[in-house]
Structure 1
Amino acid sequence: MEASKDTSREPTRAYSPSGPTNGSLPYDTEMQDTVTLDSTDPVSSFIPTLNQNVFFTNTDDSLQLYLVLKASNSLSFVGTVAITVIQGSVSLFGSIIPASALRHSVYAPKNYPLATLEAISYSSTLMTAPIVPDFIRGTIPASDTVIMIEDLRSGIQGLRQVCSSSLAVFEVPTDFGFDFKLREFFPIRYAGVSSTLFSTPPSWNSALVDVENAESCVEALVKGPKGSGKSTFVRMLVNRLLLRHRHVAYLDCDPGQTEFTPPGMVSLHIITEPILGPPFTHPLQPFKAHFIGSTTMQSSPHHYQACIAALLETYRLDVKYNYEVVDQGPESLIGTGTSGIPLVINNFGWNKGLGAEVTKSIESQLDLTHVYTFESPGMGGTWSTNDESKVESTSFFSLEPIKQSKPDHGQSERRSLMTMSYFHHQNRNKWNTDLPLCSRPPWEVTWADAIDRIFLIGSGSEDVATSEVLRALNGGIVALLTVDPAASRGLQRMEAKAIVPYTQGADPPDPSCSNCIGIALVRGVRASLGTLHILTPVAPELLAHARVLVMGEVKLPIWGMLDFRAEAKDINQIAGVKMTAVPFLHWSEGSDETPGAKRLRVRRNLMRKNQSISHL
Structure 2
Amino acid sequence: MSALAAHRARLASAAAAAAELQAAEAGGSGSSAAAATSALTAESSASAQPGTSPRKRRKQALATGAAAASSSASALPNAASSAPAWPDERAGPGVSEAALTWQPLASGARRNWAPVEGGSDIDVGLHADETLAFSGQARLRLLHGQATISGARLRAPDRIRVLAPKSSPLPVLRALSQPKPHSSARCSSTPTSVLDTSLFAVIVRLGAAPDCGLHHLPNVCALAGIDPFGDASESAATGGHRGQEEEQLVRALPAGVHLVLGAPRGAALLAQPDAWETVLAHLSGLAPQVPLQQLAPGPPVLLVRGAKRLGKSTFARLALAALLSREGATRVAWLDADPGQGEFGPPGILALHIFERHAKEGLGDELQLAPGWTLAHTPARAHFLGDTTPRDEPARYLAMLEELLGFYARENASQTMPLIVNTPGWVKGLGADLASRLEHLACPTLIIDMRAAPEAVTGPDGDADVDSGQDDEAEALAEAESMRPCQGEPYYDGSGALLGAAPTIVPLYGARVAARSTPADGRILALLAHLHARPVSGQVCTRFDFERPLCEMRPVLVDVQQGLAGGLHVLPFVASVAPALRLAVLNASLVAIVRLDEVDRAAQDSHPPSHFGLQQPWDRALVQPLPEPASSHCVALAVLRAIDVPRGQLSLLTSAAAAQLRDARGHFALVRGAIDVPVWASLDAAHVQAATTGAAPPPLLAGVPRAQVPYVEWTQDDDGAETPLGLGRRRVRRNLMRKGQR
Question: What is the TM-score of this pair, normalised by structure 2?
Answer: 0.67
Match of 1:164 among 206, 222, 232: 222
- CA separation of 1:224 and 1:48: change in aligned 2, threshold 3 A: same
Aligned position for 1:27 = none
Q: CA RMSD in A?
A: 3.5
Where do 1:15-30 residues align within 5 Å?
A: none
How far the C-alpha of 1:34 sits from its partner, in A, is 7.3
What is the CA deviation profile of residues 202-259 of structure 1, one whole-angstrom value per residue up to 9, with x for unaligned ones? 3322322334422231111111101111111111111111214210111110011111
Question: Is the contact between residue 235 and residue 275 of structure 1 (CA under 8 Å) also seen in structure 2?
Answer: no
- CA separation of 1:374 and 1:472: change in aligned 2, threshold 3 A: same
Aligned position for 1:587 = 714
Compare the two structures and name the one with the higher helix fraction.
2
Does 1:299 pair with 2:400? Answer: no
Unmatched 5+ residue regions in structure 2?
Answer: 1-92, 236-245, 286-290, 358-366, 456-474, 492-500, 536-540, 610-614, 691-696, 728-742
SS in 1 for 2:650: strand
How far the C-alpha of 1:72 sits from its partner, in A, is 2.3
Match of 2:337 among 250, 253, 264: 253
User: Which residue identity does 1:447 align to in structure 2?
Assistant: V
Aligned position for 2:654 = 536
Aligned position for 1:602 = none
How far the C-alpha of 1:161 sits from its partner, in A, is 3.1
- CA separation of 1:267 and 1:125: change in aligned 2, threshold 3 A: farther
Where do 1:302-341 residues align within 5 Å?
A: 302-316=395-409, 318-321=410-413, 339-341=415-417
Aligned position for 2:270 = 198
Question: Is the contact between residue 377 and residue 542 of structure 2 (CA under 8 Å) also seen in structure 1?
Answer: no
CA distance in 1, matches of 2:659, 2:95: 43
How far the C-alpha of 1:479 sits from its partner, in A, is 1.1
Where do 1:151-190 residues align within 5 Å?
A: 151-152=208-209, 153-166=211-224, 169-172=228-231, 174=233, 175=235, 176-178=246-248, 179-190=251-262
Question: Is the contact between residue 73 and residue 118 of structure 1 (CA under 8 Å) also seen in structure 2?
Answer: yes
Aligned position for 1:64 = 121
CA distance in 2, matches of 1:515, 1:85: 40
Most deviating of 425-434 and 193-202: 193-202
User: Which residue identity does 1:182 align to in structure 2?
Assistant: P
Match of 2:618 among 499, 502, 511: 499
SS in 1 for 2:292: coil
- CA separation of 1:572 and 1:487: change in aligned 2, threshold 3 A: same
Most deviating of 435-444 and 465-474: 465-474
Aligned position for 1:272 = 356
- CA separation of 1:34 and 1:553: change in aligned 2, threshold 3 A: farther
Where do 1:433-472 residues align within 5 Å?
A: 433-452=546-565, 453-460=567-574, 462=576, 464-472=577-585
Unmatched 5+ residue regions in structure 1?
Answer: 1-31, 323-338, 600-616
Most deviating of 562-571 and 112-121: 562-571
Does 1:49 pair with 2:106? Answer: yes
Most deviating of 166-175 and 209-218: 166-175
Does 1:554 pair with 2:675? Answer: yes
Match of 2:592 among 468, 473, 479: 479
How far the C-alpha of 1:507 sits from its partner, in A, is 5.3
Question: Is the contact between residue 207 and residue 397 of structure 1 (CA under 8 Å) also seen in structure 2?
Answer: no
Count of aligned pairs: 541
CA distance in 2, matches of 1:348, 1:92: 26
Question: Is the contact between residue 33 and residue 403 of structure 1 (CA under 8 Å) also seen in structure 2?
Answer: no
Aligned position for 1:509 = 627
User: Which residue identity does 1:457 align to in structure 2?
Assistant: L
What percentage of residue pairs aligned between the two structures are identical? 24
User: Which residue identity does 2:413 align to in structure 1?
Assistant: Y
Question: Is the contact between residue 373 and residue 383 of structure 1 (CA under 8 Å) also seen in structure 2?
Answer: no
- CA separation of 1:568 and 1:576: change in aligned 2, threshold 3 A: farther
Where do 1:68-467 residues align within 5 Å?
A: 68-100=125-157, 102=159, 104-120=160-176, 121-123=178-180, 125=182, 128-129=186-187, 131-134=189-192, 136=194, 139-141=196-198, 144-152=201-209, 153-166=211-224, 169-172=228-231, 174=233, 175=235, 176-178=246-248, 179-211=251-283, 212=285, 213-215=291-293, 216=297, 217-242=299-324, 243-244=326-327, 245-273=329-357, 274-316=367-409, 318-321=410-413, 339-376=415-452, 388-390=488-490, 393-403=502-512, 408-427=516-535, 428-452=541-565, 453-460=567-574, 462=576, 464-467=577-580
CA distance in 1, matches of 2:95, 2:534: 32
User: Which residue identity does 1:409 align to in structure 2?
Assistant: S
CA distance in 2, matches of 1:33, 1:475: 49
- CA separation of 1:56 and 1:487: change in aligned 2, threshold 3 A: farther
Question: Is the contact between residue 351 and residue 381 of structure 2 (CA under 8 Å) also seen in structure 1?
Answer: yes
What is the CA deviation profile of residues 537-586 of structure 1, one whole-angstrom value per residue up to 9, with x for unaligned ones? 12334323251111111111122111124799664222110112212333
- CA separation of 1:118 and 1:135: change in aligned 2, threshold 3 A: closer
Question: Is the contact between residue 35 and residue 198 of structure 1 (CA under 8 Å) also seen in structure 2?
Answer: no
CA distance in 1, matches of 2:689, 2:345: 30
How far the C-alpha of 1:307 sits from its partner, in A, is 0.2
Aligned position for 2:705 = 578
- CA separation of 1:259 and 1:568: change in aligned 2, threshold 3 A: closer
How far the C-alpha of 1:492 sits from its partner, in A, is 4.8
CA distance in 2, matches of 1:159, 1:33: 37
CA distance in 2, matches of 1:228, 1:567: 33
How far the C-alpha of 1:291 sits from its partner, in A, is 0.4
Question: Is the contact between residue 456 and residue 552 of structure 1 (CA under 8 Å) also seen in structure 2?
Answer: yes
Most deviating of 213-222 and 440-449: 213-222
User: Which residue identity does 2:428 align to in structure 1?
Assistant: K
CA distance in 2, matches of 1:33, 1:500: 62
What is the CA deviation profile of residues 92-141 of structure 1, one whole-angstrom value per residue up to 9, with x for unaligned ones? 12322222354x2211121332322222144375882364545627x332
Question: Is the contact between residue 436 and residue 564 of structure 1 (CA under 8 Å) also seen in structure 2?
Answer: yes
Question: What is the TM-score of this pair, normalised by structure 1?
Answer: 0.79
Most deviating of 164-173 and 275-284: 164-173
- CA separation of 1:111 and 1:284: change in aligned 2, threshold 3 A: closer
User: Which residue identity does 2:156 align to in structure 1?
Assistant: A
How far the C-alpha of 1:493 sits from its partner, in A, is 8.3
CA distance in 1, matches of 2:124, 2:513: 34
Most deviating of 579-588 and 474-483: 579-588
